[in-house]
């Protein structure tokens, strides 16, 4: 009985999210020139942009799914997989790379048991890399959400992650 109620709750939540996305499409008048704004808002509402959501947007905007998918796959901001509660971004710019950025990536992959672009099984962390986060003087640097960590080495990672 609880399982059925739980499923109905999730279905109504998903229906509500689809209604919100539909409202956004109507707000932007379903113009293809507004697609990126619609996708941004849709990702904020749904959390990510799986194929089902892309198909929904395409049908409401009378566009081909391939057009929607092309934009989603082109821009790194968009995600087709669920994201973690926290995003870890390792800088791999020249200064950070030279000072040990790759070692940070390797250690995080080991500690979290995920690859770049993946999310931990518990949904806590998503691991990403960036070409530069603008903290070259702090190299190697990483960000978790909007917090920048400077002069990070693999030995500091456990204590940093423990804060989250």
- Domain closes at, from 28, 52, 74: 74
The total domain count for the chain is: 2
**Residue 112: pLDDT above 80?**
yes
Does residue 81 lie in a domain region? no
Q: What is the pLDDT averaged over residues 137-164?
A: 96
Q: What is the pTM of this model?
A: 0.70
Q: How many residues does the chain have?
A: 164
- Domain extent for 18: 2-74
Closest Cα partner for 130 from 142, 139, 113, 144? 142
Closest Cα partner for 97 from 47, 147, 133, 58? 133
Same domain, 140 and 104: yes
Q: Are 142 and 89 in contact (CB under 8 A)?
A: yes
**Residue 33: pLDDT above 90?**
yes
Same domain, 70 and 91: no
Q: Are 62 and 114 in contact (CB under 8 A)?
A: no
Instruction: Point out the least confidently predicted range of 3-7, 27-31, 151-155.
Output: 3-7
Same domain, 25 and 49: yes
> What does the alpha-carbon distance between residue 21 and residue 162 come to, in Å, rounded to a whole number?
35
pLDDT at 14: 80
Does residue 40 lie in a domain region? yes
Long-range contacts of the stretch 11-18 (C-beta < 8 A, 24+): 17/45, 17/46, 18/56
Q: What is the pLDDT averaged over residues 61-87?
A: 93
- Domain closes at, from 50, 74, 98: 74
Q: How many CB atoms lie within 10 A of CB 105?
A: 22
* Residue recorded with tokens 């989250």: 164
pLDDT at 13: 81
Q: What six digits make up the tokens of 44?
A: 């904020």
Higher pLDDT, 2 or 130: 130
CATH number for 129: 3.40.30.10
Does residue 79 lie in a domain region? no
């Amino acid at each position: 009985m609880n399982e059925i109620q739980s499923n109905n709750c999730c279905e109504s939540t998903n229906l509500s999210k689809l209604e919100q996305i539909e409202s956004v499409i109507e707000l932007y008048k379903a113009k293809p020139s507004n697609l990126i704004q619609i996708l941004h808002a849709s990702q904020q509402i749904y959390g990510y942009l799986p194929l089902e959501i892309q198909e929904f947007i395409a049908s409401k905007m009378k566009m081909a799914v391939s057009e929607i998918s092309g934009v989603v796959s082109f821009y790194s901001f968009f995600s087709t997989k669920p994201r973690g509660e926290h995003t870890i971004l390792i800088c791999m710019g020249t200064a950070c790379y030279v000072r040990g950025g790759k070692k940070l990536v390797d250690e995080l992959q080991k500690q979290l048991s995920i690859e770049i672009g993946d999310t931990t099984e518990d949904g806590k962390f998503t691991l990403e890399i960036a070409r530069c986060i603008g903290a070259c003087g702090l190299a190697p640097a990483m960000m978790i959400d909007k917090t920048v960590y400077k002069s990070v080495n693999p030995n500091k990672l456990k204590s940093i992650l423990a804060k989250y």
